[in-house]
Structure 1
Amino acid sequence: MTYKAIIFDLDGTLVNSIEDLADAMNSVLKNKNYPTHNYEAYKHFVGSGIRSLVIKALPETQRVEAQIKNCFDQMISIYSKQCTNKTKPYDGIIDLLNQLKARNLKLSVLSNKADELTKKITLALFPDYFSPVLGLKQEALKKPNPVVALQICNQLNVKPEETIYVGDTAIDMQTANNSNMLAVGVPWGFRDKKELIESNAKHILNHPLDLIKLL
């Protein structure tokens, strides 16, 4: 198979964003005198969007809609101001993107992070590599729903089977498989190889440049 396009997840795949996410949510929790969480815990809170992260971070007794909305709004307000404070590309990602660009591959980003924040971070750290860059606009279209991934293929004028989807979580592998794309997992992010394999990853990369071997 000749691959023409690659869709990347953002958090845990292209960038390590866990500290900025955790710092922002912990600020919300501190303001309410709720227990905070360490960075390792937040690795298991991410993947399904910021609203889901807020729910998981809140004490179980506080997971009611009014409180979730209030904390979500606070989280977005804080995080939007500091979402690139500590967030950086993983080692090898820029080298990979330069090689992919040299091969004239079409590159896109699809994240469950809010669309505005996805665009802000991607533009700040990768200004010349990706189009389109899409985050979450409607909860119903959140990954692993394949609708937006397939829309990206249409926009890029490629078939799903000509597309590689790269991500670090079970949700990403499910998105790829639901879309009939090649599911490629990365273990340097927020989950481990076991989760990726159990979620039907077709390939696991140990280093970003390993993706070149698939081409």
Structure 2
Amino acid sequence: MSDLRLVVFDVDGTLVDSQADILAAMQAAFDGGGLEMPSRDAVLGIVGLSLPEAMSQLVPGIKTAERRILVDGYKAAYMTLRADNGVAVSSPLYPHVRNVLDGLHAVPEVLLGVATGKSRRGLDKLLDGHDLRSLFVTQQVADNHPSKPHPGMLRSALSETGIEPHRAVMIGDTSYDMEMARAAGMLAIGVTWGYHDRARLREAHVLLDDIRMLPGLLQQIWEQTA
């Protein structure tokens, strides 16, 4: 049996804090659509979903054409903000993330991946902006899969790497990440520094308050599943 393990990360709210640009882009989208901007909590609550699904949740009953206007407006505003500010400002890495990722990547038995509601283009810009691309052997995006919490992203990550679900973990900050992990048969690690509070992370198998504790936590988990 292979000794390989797979660690899959969500992006927004887990690795990077992009809430300022998310909120600004959402405001621009709703202004452009002639609609009232939802509350900050409502907007951050849908981070991680694909944009069409996110807009449907923010505006229940919205028509397809109106939803498309919001989605396109959001994409355009987000791209403009990122171009104006640069990735490091628009989506800064949370403290200690880079060191932890580099440390995990250095372990031969550990494969890293991402599963995100971002588009391929959006993820490419972020990975290149932070020089992270080489760390992740599998990269799952919203373009190719149903929205979280559908497990399609994680099933593809497992298939691409040849890792069994019980030898993989999903790390994210939202209930969608936790539900997705459970549906894929993977262990769900919820992080508490992101956009969903502890109450919404009830589907997590484990909660993590400090990313610097992740390597030790993973070692404990793997010892139990060896």
1:137 corresponds to = 143
2:70 corresponds to = 71
Contact 1:22 1:38 in 2 (8 A): no
Selected match of 2:178 from 173, 181, 184: 173
Residue 14 of structure 1 and its aligned partner are, at CA, apart by: 0.8
Percentage of pairs with the same residue? 23
1:67 maps to amino acid: E
Contact 1:185 1:204 in 2 (8 A): yes
Cα distance in structure 2, aligned partners of 1:45 and 1:146: 17
1:133 maps to amino acid: Q
Contact 1:25 1:75 in 2 (8 A): yes
2:77 maps to amino acid: I
2:223 corresponds to = none
Selected match of 2:155 from 150, 155, 171: 150
Q: What is the TM-score normalised by the length of structure 1?
A: 0.87
Question: Cα gap change, 1:19/1:149 in structure 2, threshold over 3 Å: closer, same or farther?
Answer: same
Cα distance in structure 2, aligned partners of 1:162 and 1:123: 28
Cα distance in structure 1, aligned partners of 2:155 and 2:33: 41
Q: Say how many residue pairs are matched.
A: 209
Cα distance in structure 1, aligned partners of 2:58 and 2:184: 30
1:110 corresponds to = 115
- Give the secondary structure class of the aligned counterpart of 1:128: helix
Residue 3 of structure 1 and its aligned partner are, at CA, apart by: 6.3
- Give the secondary structure class of the aligned counterpart of 1:204: strand
Cα distance in structure 1, aligned partners of 2:126 and 2:40: 20
1:186 and 2:185 matched: no
Cα distance in structure 1, aligned partners of 2:17 and 2:67: 25
Question: Cα gap change, 1:132/1:123 in structure 2, threshold over 3 Å: closer, same or farther?
Answer: farther
Q: Report the RMSD for the aligned CA atoms in angstroms.
A: 2.1
Question: Cα gap change, 1:121/1:39 in structure 2, threshold over 3 Å: closer, same or farther?
Answer: farther
Deviations 1:65-93 (A, max 9, x none): 21111221122122123343421111121
Q: What is the TM-score normalised by the length of structure 2?
A: 0.83
Tell me which moved more, 88-97 or 45-54.
45-54
Cα distance in structure 2, aligned partners of 1:207 and 1:79: 28
Cα distance in structure 2, aligned partners of 1:56 and 1:202: 26
Contact 1:9 1:167 in 2 (8 A): yes
- Give the secondary structure class of the aligned counterpart of 2:118: strand
Residue 23 of structure 1 and its aligned partner are, at CA, apart by: 0.8
Contact 1:50 1:114 in 2 (8 A): no
Contact 2:114 2:136 in 1 (8 A): yes
1:42 corresponds to = 43
1 or 2, which has the higher helix percentage? Answer: 2
Selected match of 2:93 from 89, 96, 109: 89
Structure 2 residue runs of 5 or longer lacking an equivalent are 220-226
Question: Cα gap change, 1:32/1:171 in structure 2, threshold over 3 Å: closer, same or farther?
Answer: closer
Cα distance in structure 1, aligned partners of 2:181 and 2:36: 36
- Give the secondary structure class of the aligned counterpart of 2:211: coil
Structure 1 residue runs of 5 or longer lacking an equivalent are none
Tell me which moved more, 74-83 or 152-161.
74-83
